[in-house]
Structure 1
Amino acid sequence: MQPSPLISVVLPVYNGADYLRPTIDAILSQTQGDFELLVINDGSSDGSETIIRSYPDSRIRYFHHPNKGFAYTLNRGIGEARGKYIARIDADDICLPQRFEKQAAWLEERPGTDLVGCFITFIDEKGEVKGDWPEDRAHYTNAQIREALPFKNCIAHPGVMVRTEVFRSFPYLDSQKPVEDYDMWLRLAGAGLVMEKVPEMLLLYRVHGASMTLSIIKKKNVFFRHYHCKRRYLAGRLSKGRLNMFDIRVFAGMCKDLLTAIGKNIKQKL
């Protein structure tokens, strides 16, 4: 039996052929090489499988299933992981070479930290830099992240590394699509877990016509999505009798989202 790697990289793929090869190349070129790469093909109908199978690297473990959605695919990858830590990445983003090394060292040196993210920079289809995410750069300590989360997401999903037992205790919820990540951060923060970031840019986050991020941005009223995300989160907390001060702030953020969403709708109709 092979020894367990330090890191399990969970890479879900759904029709990602256009950008998949640079993503995998960047992962395999990491300075921290003690990892397994779990590529989970969620029923792709393009050339994704051909690209995945073209790599002979023994660190790659390939899984595929009929299309079942993002949450199911992530949870399957988490269930298959053998590493101490799980690193997330999407099929169109690019890790800088030292990402895994720096994030794993952060968790090794800070046993009380449950999740560590990093700063990101946006790139387009051609790989050209398009700017940074202000909320990302402004919130990187646990205190700053907890302060922001009830009102806005400030953690880039494909840039996190998490202790494996944490992800297994908090599976992704299909009921929260397409904001499964925001719901995850709320649940982790509500449970008192510590989330921080390596305050360095370690991920190039691609935004393009087919990306989930851009599809959400283009929605006429994303505030309704955040309102419903927080409403479902709070309903789950209430059903377990676990409401705390963080949840009260989430309730305030939910009310703000609803008012903003209604205001946007009225403005669009005028």
Structure 2
Amino acid sequence: MEKKKRVSVVIPAYNHERFIGPAVDSVLNQTWENLELIVVDDGSTDGTGDIVKSYSDPRLSYYYQENQDAFNTINRGMGLAKGEYITILNSDDIYTTDRLEKLVAIQQESNAACLFTDVLPISDAGTVFTDPDFGWNIWHRKNRVWFFACGDLYTAFLKGNFMVTTSNMFMTAEAVQRVGKFSALRYLHDYDYIFRMMLAFPGQVRYVDDEQLLYYRIHDGNTLGEAAITGRQQDLEVIQKYMLAALPDKQRRIAAAGTGRLLELRDELEQVRSDLSGQAEPSVRERLHLLLLAIKYKLRKKLHQYLDNFRELMQGR
């Protein structure tokens, strides 16, 4: 009987004392027992480290470092991995109990270099978002529909990252060795990595589309901010880069020139519309400032109403 191969699970952790316990439990309670869990604490200032260090399971190793961002934390963890398979779990996500067992079996049957599954979105409290009209579900469903329609993984990824998260990557150690480290992208290092994986192993990246083996946390406090702007800018750059990477040299130059001009035209059109309207569109920062002013105004108005009512009450005594 073949000896069970070891799976190395890397958890990059940062200030997730509320979620790190369930994440660690979801790994240590796997039906696939031959694993090592490497938790790299990226400079947490809350109780994350204390919670991890409270576990006595010999399969768990804990490392602390000064804050270096997620991609560096993952790279360090992968460098420490000794298993034949390497997978990642963000410290606020959760594996289903049989995730590793199922993925090992599929990998051994298919000889895939990298696998990922469908996911279940959950709230901070762990409630699954089942409403089909929930915004995230609409976005994910659209990406899946496109994948099934086009039938090509690489093309489908250009439309959207339906892998969703770094937590969804299950890879052979050999594949990780060849593809290398995660790039220095704060928000889209997983998106960049899956394109590099597909280019390095054509036809050996597999989407297990009929299995939901990961709980992906969508935080209640997520708001529009600078991250949304930076993330979309990185999204644009990743898509353009890997769209061109799939083309022969001659077509690549043509496509690069064409897409570059289209992006310029988009910006020029926005500027022209803004000039014609006579008023520039407010930036995200300006919109936030206006929102805060509106909130302050409403609070002041309610306070004045309260004081007027209080005065009337006192005069009536």
TM-score (norm 2): 0.70
Q: State how 1:219-234 maps to structure 2 within 5 Å.
A: 219-220=228-229, 222-231=231-240
Q: 2:167 aligns with which of 150, 154, 158?
A: 158
How big is each residue's C-alpha offset from its partner over 1:125-171, in whole Å with a ceiling of 9 and x where there is no partner?
Answer: 11111144325644489953212122322213212210112122221
> What are the ranges of 5 or more consecutive residues in structure 1 without an aligned counterpart?
none
Aligned runs of 1:239-254 on 2, under 5 Å? Answer: 244=248, 248=252
- Give, in angstroms, the shift of residue 21 of structure 1: 0.6
Equivalent of residue 200 in structure 2, options 191, 201, 207: 191
- The answer to whether the Cα contact below 8 Å between 1:224 and 1:257 also exists between their aligned partners in 2 is no
Q: How many pairs align?
A: 258
Aligned residue type for 1:129: V
Match of 1:201 among 194, 212, 231: 212
User: Which residue of 2 is the match for residue 146 of structure 1?
Assistant: 154
Q: Which residue of 1 aligns with 2:123?
A: 124
Query: In structure 2, how many angstroms separate the alpha carbons of the residues matched to 1:172 and 1:20?
Result: 22
Query: Contact 2:158/2:243 (CA < 8 Å) preserved in 1?
Result: no
Change (3 A) 1:37 1:134: same
How far did 1:192 drift? 4.0
Change in CA separation of 1:158 and 1:259 when aligned onto 2, cut-off 3 Å: farther
Task: Give the conservation status (yes or no) of the 8 Å contact 2:118–2:213.
Answer: yes
Q: Identify which of structures 1 and 2 has the higher relative contact order when contacts are C-alpha pairs closer than 8 Å and 6+ apart.
A: 1
Q: Secondary structure at the match of 2:152?
A: helix
- Tell me how far apart the structure 2 counterparts of residues 100 and 107 of structure 1 sit (CA, whole Å): 10
Q: Between 84-93 and 194-203, report the one with greater CA deviation.
A: 194-203
Q: Which has the higher helix share?
A: 2
Moved more, 201-210 or 5-14: 201-210
- 1:172 matched residue in structure 2: 182
Structure 1 residues 95-104 or 165-174, which shifts more? 165-174
Q: Deviations over 1:199-252 (max 9, x none)?
A: 2011110011567xx7789725754221223456689x6xxxx9648x959969
Corresponding letter in the other structure for 2:207: K
Q: After superposition, where does 1:76-115 map in structure 2 within 5 Å?
A: 76-111=76-111, 113-115=112-114
Displacement of 1:114 in angstroms is 0.8
Partner of 2:159, secondary structure, is coil
TM-score normalised by structure 1 residue count: 0.81
- Provide the residue aligned with 2:141 in structure 1: 134
1:269 aligned onto 2:278 = no
Q: Distance in 1 between matches of 2:258 and 2:161?
A: 11
Higher alpha-carbon deviation: 197-206 or 150-159: 150-159
Is the contact made by 1:114 and 1:163 (CA closer than 8 Å) also made in structure 2? yes
Identity %: 26
* SS in structure 2 of the partner of residue 122 of structure 1: strand
Match of 2:307 in 1: none
Instruction: State which drifts further: 248-257 or 94-103.
Output: 248-257
